[in-house]
Amino acid sequence: MADFKLGDSENIADVSVIYKVSESLEKTYIFVVSEKLLNEYNLPLQKFVDFLQQKLCFEDPYYEVALELWCSNKSVKSDISLKDTNSEIDNVTEIKTDSQLIHLKNKKN
Sequential pLDDT tens for the chain (109 residues): 555 545 554 545 677 888 888 877 777 888 888 888 999 999 999 999 999 999 999 999 999 999 999 988 888 776 666 666 666 777 888 888 888 888 887 655 4
Coil vs helix vs strand at 65: helix
- Separation between Cα atoms, residue 39 and residue 55, nearest integer Å: 21
Q: Check residue 68 and give its pLDDT.
A: 93
What are the boundaries of each domain within the chain?
A: 2-103
Contact 62, 44 (CB under 8 A): yes
Strand segments, DSSP code E, in 10-100 are 12-15, 17-22, 28-33, 92-96
Per-residue DSSP letter, 107 = T
- Separation between Cα atoms, residue 5 and residue 48, nearest integer Å: 22
